[in-house]
Amino acid sequence: MVRYRNALAFVVLLVSFVAVGAEPNICDPNTKPDLRVCLKAAYQKRDSELNEVYKKLIPLLSARTRKALQDSSISWIRAKEADCKTSSPSGDQEFYACLLRSTDERLRFLTKLLGRVRDADIAGYYSDESNGSVTIIQVGPNEYLFEMRVVRGPTFHTGQYNGVFRRTGNSIKYRWSTSDPMVMKCDLNFTIEPGALQVEEVDCSGFHGARAYFDGTYFKIE
């Protein structure tokens, strides 16, 4: 008896795996396959593809971005294993379906990052994989509008900030200029690196919750 809660989701997973070259007699839903065996094989194939993309990506990154990606990958692996073991007993159909879905998502993320790592244009969408994002839009010659949005922690502390900076190199100091002591300030240091944007905030507490922050490595994925 199939234990999946959503039969259509399983068909989609199986058809997807057949489409990328799996043996039809293993995973073709028309042949009543052993779902556990098929999903395990599908997961192992995706995991191998993920590792290949990761190996291509790592040498292209700066030391700081590489460390951030390595740290986020370790966190992702731990979360994936914990979530899938919680949702289903280890080794059954639902367990491997969970692993496959999570690995598919991670593979899409790394593939997007690999496709952007050589971008000369800094305009785009960046994610820090912790519910933080930076959107950058070019508005003039060497002028860029940025918007930062973050949601941090289990209590969902939020933050938002935007402004316009002029790019004269790969290190940008954004300074909010005001003489009014009643106006909140927020200064940001941006460092542009292959495939990433490093952000350091200076006195920005007025623009985000107590447990939120703008600091971090934001990976370019769009």
Q: What is the mean pLDDT of residues 32-40?
A: 79
Give 93's pLDDT tier (boundaries 50, 70, 90): confident
Q: Is the pLDDT of residue 167 over 60?
A: yes
Q: Is the pLDDT of residue 2 over 70?
A: no
Determine the 3-state secondary structure of 142 from DSSP.
coil
pLDDT tens per residue across span 115-154: 999 998 999 999 999 999 999 999 999 999 999 999 998 8
Q: Are 141 and 120 in contact (CB under 8 A)?
A: no
Q: Which helix (H) or strand (E) holds 108?
A: helix 93-116
Q: Is the pLDDT of residue 165 over 90?
A: yes
Domains and CATH numbers, the chain: 7-116 (1.20.1270), 124-220 (no CATH)
More confident residue, 14 or 105: 105
How confident is the model at residue 38, as a pLDDT? Answer: 86
Stretch among 9-18, 102-111, 165-174 having the lowest mean pLDDT:
9-18
CA 208 to chain centre: 21
Q: What is the mean pLDDT of residues 1-15?
A: 46
pLDDT tens per residue across span 39-88: 889 999 999 999 999 999 999 999 999 999 999 999 999 999 999 988 77
In sequence order, which residues have a C-beta less than 8 Å from that of residue 222 and are 6 or more positions away?
112, 116, 124, 125
Determine the 3-state secondary structure of 84 from DSSP.
helix
d(CA 5, CA 14): 15
How confident is the model at residue 92, as a pLDDT? Answer: 83
Phi and psi angles of residue 179, each rounded to the nearest 5 degrees, phi first: -100, 0
How confident is the model at residue 185, as a pLDDT? Answer: 83
d(CA 27, CA 35): 7
Q: Is the pLDDT of residue 6 over 80?
A: no
Residue 132: closest CA among 187, 51, 203, 68:
68
How confident is the model at residue 19, as a pLDDT? Answer: 46
d(CA 50, CA 109): 10
How confident is the model at residue 203, as a pLDDT? Answer: 87
Q: Is the pLDDT of residue 205 over 50?
A: yes
How confident is the model at residue 147, as a pLDDT? Answer: 97
Q: Which helix (H) or strand (E) holds 151?
A: strand 143-152
